[in-house]
Chains A and B, each alone.
Chain A
Amino acid sequence: MSPQASTPLVPAKTDPEMIRNFCIIAHIDHGKSTLADRMLQLTGVVQPRQMKAQYLDRMDIERERGITIKSQAVRMPWEHAEDTYAFHMIDTPGHVDFSYEVSRSLDACEGALLLVDAAQGIEAQTLANLYLAMEHDLVIIPVLNKIDLPAAMPDKYAAEIAGLIGCEPEEVLRVSGKTGEGVEELLDRIVEEVPAPEGDAEAPARAMIFDSVYDTYRGVVTFVRVVDGSLGHREKIRMMSTGATHELLEIGVSQPEPKPTQGLGIGEVGYLITGVKDVRQSKVGDTVTSQARPADELIRGYQEPRPMVFSGLFPIDGSEFPVLREALEKLQLNDAALNFEPETSTALGFGFRVGFLGLLHLEITRERLEQEYNLELISTAPNVVYEVTDESGETHQVTNPSEFPEGKIADIREPIVDATVIVPAEFIGPVMELCQSRRGAMQGMDYLSEERVEIRYSMPLAEIVFDFFDNLKSRTKGYASLNWQGTGEQSADLVKVDILLQGDKVDAFSAITHRDQAYDYGVKMASKLKDLIPRQQFEVPVQAAIGSRIIARENIRAIRKDVLSKCYGGDISRKRKLLEKQKEGKKRMKMVGTVEVPQEAFITALSSESGSKEKAKK
């Protein structure tokens, strides 16, 4: 007998008692999307023939990377003990860069499935999101996935999870999203354990925005969870943080295709369409209320997304600057956290200084720009935001080394984070060594099980954005997982290191580093550039400097021979074509003063060593 509900409950007319809202907390590739797909199938909302693998991951780039960036909510019917229930499954982003979105998604739920790969155990980011869910008082249903794998060790990881959430190992469900084993039981557990939503039906309507997505045809689609009252079709609504009002052109639920309804009631999760074109007009975390009978208070204090990492993006072909601008504007329609302003680099030309939530956000954005808009980009080394106070007591926000004030500095403050690393115990040494070399201060260490350890450090964010994760992975044979969370700021002894070519500063290579690491950076960069820049007709000194003090120097010797001595028995064509090729190559050179620097030199010098290895693998 199929447990599919024969008559699903009608949205806006559903008793909150019959509603269950939950999300899935899982690490990338622990099988969240496969499990979600299986649920869609079992509850009958997606017919088998419409099923495509990982239905809920819509963007190509997400599918490619197996990452769910944007959450969506799906309404599914389920029958249990002869009652029909309505589930809203809220798909949360798994990555730390999007922790604000995760938080809002958790707000929309009463329960969370903690999904862990039975062959790998829990990862740092999952742990972070688990703690977040516990802070939000969600009921946690622990689930081990992929039990069909030969390498699965369900007993071991069940014990680990039980230790973390304080349950018995036997209470940890064992499922396989792939074969479907245990999934029906899981759906029943959701009915039994996740509390029904509560709210005041008579109060003015309040709904929380937990996601907002731009759709080319429909404009912004806003996902909400109704807390009090109800919202109806054609109603005038108001965004409480901005006071902006809109008409509800459409209201509905996802199944997972959008399905218009008459409205949404208490505890229900669905979408709103108002015709706005920009996700920044429909902000995650904001409260939607009714214009006719507005509520007084927001559900939660609204917080603007704050970019943590900045990088300059420059088109390799300078004429593509307008294309880049347009592309960034389009991405911004769907990414409220993305912000940018024009930047001019003497070395790289016109581009944009772009702020990101974190490194993954940066990487995804860059990849989308390259894939979807066919842009070839140079990105400068990522850096964090510094607060620099000069001698006169004036404070500057520095998101770009070029904004670093000249002259004496009274104080520099940099963001610090709490970093958590989960790693097999054998790697404790290398991880501690790495964290210490990155100015980390140890906060604590806990054994999750006999073999796995959680190590906590307080570290400057700048150290994390510079190559940290790649280094961590290579020191731990890929086993380490990392999570970090901004905790505040600290004063630090930082300096700006400039790189000079023939005495001319190359702004693209300037970096803000700790004074103790400045020399290292200077030496490395100068020797890299010496190898990357072809010899010119004159000698070119490559120097690294702090202010006017030179800390490292290399020389690119002048080229003395640039002529083909043979004419190849009258094969003039060959010689001419060689010259034409060289001429063409010259077009791809950037001039720094009188020095010709190939684009490739910028790209290679600016990419981290491990980053370029990564590229090579692809």
Chain B
Amino acid sequence: MPAPLPIGDPVPADGSFPPPVRDALASRAEKPFGLYVHIPFCSVRCGYCDFNTYTAEDLGPGASRDSYPDTLIRELEFAASALQAAGAPQRKLRTIFFGGGTPTLLPAEDLARILQRARDLFGVEENAEITTEANPDTVTDESAQTLAEAGFTRVSLGMQSAVPEVLRVLDRTHNPDNVPAAHQAARDAGLQTSLDLIYGTPGESLQDWRTSLQAAIELRPDHISAYSLIIEEGTAMAAKIRRGQLADIDSDDQADKYLLTDELLVEAGYHWYEVSNYSTGESTRSQHNLNYWLDSDWWGAGPGAHSHLAGLRWWNAKHPAAYAQRMHQGVSAGQGRELLDDQAIVLEHLMLRLRIAEGLDIAEFNGLAALLRGGGEPITAATLETLVAEGLIEADAAAASSSWPQGRAVLTVKGRLLADAVTRSLVE
């Protein structure tokens, strides 16, 4: 079952933004602007997945696999006029990300058509990063070629594991043997590549995980994401665990696997730039993903998609049919939204920046905390020294700056595993 959406304020039918957002938009001309496109179709729902995706081919008017691209294009048009009405500065798209679901369940031509419409409406920056997620079974030489010709620059393959038994527990139906071929096809088409992996699946041994990591490294992708399995409420896997049919996940096991991940990937020449993300270098980082952590703006199109614009977060109606109906009535797809208050801004800044390799700029944070009322206490040198002593943030970052509290707080590998705890300790 897809996870529930947050609870927020209602979104007006015309999708207009509250005054503080309109005022702030003008100053964000230099901020990156991205587009997320949600494709809510999968051939199989995986037992662990609580993303907004459906296995039926037809989810109602405007929400079948055939009619969905046109529905989505309506939202892109709606977005363009809503931004224009708000007097937002003209910004070309710096990143575009097709996620799901399984975007490649739609014909490559449809993805190309959606992309082209986005190009017409917003413009796309030169060297923009344009990614699609893909199931390894669905990427062929031809489809990769079509994607590249349409302007895609990057493919993220849902590899998850190289161990058949683990894939079976995850309900992943793709043939692991197809991963190298799909990866090669993307490469040959001139696309950057990323592999998604999941660790900590019930029954997965440390050796299994090592096998998966090694298999991924062997393909030399530009980018690897390694996520720990999270048991979400309402999923088939959660029910199996409750009934005792599957072992529960074990956080110590996941910690061991994270350490192994970091060890093997660093050894193979990858660098972490976000808790769960590694790349061969700065140019191969996922800019789109990074923008989520950097307070950038993006429009999320499609059912259940989330958007952010100058401190306003909103999310679309979840079910594809409900979403399609709104699009065809010409009203905002937004189901709820929240205008971040000072406290939320400070907490988000802290929690997001701590996750990335650049870390938290202490002076910037303290400035933010001081500027915004009720935002929190500034971070002191003593606090930082305690975190260094506990091995949670890098000591050389401290040494690099003249003295705390200048410089950046960058999490150590132990600190990354405890990032939420560190965040909480800093907002006490």
Contact = CB atoms under 8 A, between A and B. Distances in A.
- A and B: partners? yes
B128 interface: no
Contacts of B307: 570
Given A537-B390, A570-B36, A573-B8, A562 B418 contact: yes
Contact of A576 (B3, B36, B344): B344
Contacts of B209: none
B305 A569 contact: yes
A564 interface: yes
A575 B6 CA distance: 10
A569 B418 contact: no
B300 A582 contact: no
Interface in B347-370: 347-348, 351-352
A44 to B, nearest CB: 62
A561 interface: yes
A582 B416 CA distance: 18
Given A559-B251, A559-B418, A569 B348 contact: no
B252 interface: yes
Given A572-B352, A573-B6, A566 B230 contact: yes
For the residues of A in contact with B, the DSSP-based class is loop
B347 A564 contact: no
A613 interface: no
Given A563-B419, A573-B6, A583 B308 contact: no
Contact of B228 (A561, A575, A586): A561
Contacts of B298: 570
A560 interface: yes
Interface residues of B, number: 45
B122 interface: no
Contacts of A570: 36, 292, 298, 300, 305-308
Contact of A565 (B230, B351, B352): B230
A567 interface: yes
A579 interface: yes
Contacts of A168: none
Contacts of B338: 573
B115 to A, nearest CB: 18
Interface string A6-19: 00000000000000
B420 interface: yes
Contacts of B351: 575-576, 579
Contact of A566 (B227, B305, B315, B348): B227
A557 B252 CA distance: 10
Nearest to B307: A570
Contact of A561 (B251, B292, B313, B315): B251
Contacts of A549: none
Interface string A585-603: 0100000000000000000
Contacts of B8: 573
A155 interface: no
Given A570-B298, A570-B300, A582 B227 contact: no
A216 B293 CA distance: 62
A571 interface: yes
A164 B307 CA distance: 83
A560 B276 contact: no
B228 A565 contact: yes
A572 B424 contact: no
A576 B348 CA distance: 6
Given A570-B306, A571-B306, A573-B8, A561 B252 contact: yes
B25 to A, nearest CB: 19
Given A573-B313, A579-B347, A563 B305 contact: no
- The range of chain A's interface size is 20 to 34
Contacts of A580: 347
B292 A572 contact: yes
Interface in A65-88: none
Contacts of A576: 344, 347-348, 351
A577 interface: yes
Contacts of B293: 567
A560 B251 contact: yes
Contacts of A259: none
Instruction: Give the residue among A559, A572, A574 with the most B Cβ atoms within 10 A.
Output: A572
A326 B242 CA distance: 46
A565 B420 CA distance: 10
B371 interface: no
Given A569-B38, A571-B315, A564 B255 contact: no
Contacts of B421: 537, 559, 562-563
B99 A537 contact: no
B256 to A, nearest CB: 8
Interface in B298-353: 298, 300, 305-308, 313, 315, 338, 344, 347-348, 351-352
B276 to A, nearest CB: 5
B191 interface: no
B313 A579 contact: no
Contacts of B390: 537
Contact of B420 (A560, A564, A574): A564
Interface of A: 537, 557, 559-577, 579-580, 582-583, 586
Interface of B: 3, 6, 8, 36, 38, 51, 99, 226-228, 230, 251-252, 254-255, 258, 275-276, 289, 292-293, 298, 300, 305-308, 313, 315, 338, 344, 347-348, 351-352, 390, 416-421, 423-424, 427
List the 3 closest A-B pairs by CB distance, nearest first.
Answer: A560-B255, A563-B419, A570-B306
15 contacts: A559-B418, A560-B252, A560-B255, A560-B417, A562-B418, A563-B416, A565-B227, A568-B306, A569-B36, A569-B38, A570-B298, A576-B344, A577-B6, A579-B347, A583-B424
Given A537-B418, A576-B348, 5 more contacts: A560-B251, A562-B418, A564-B420, A569-B51, A579-B351
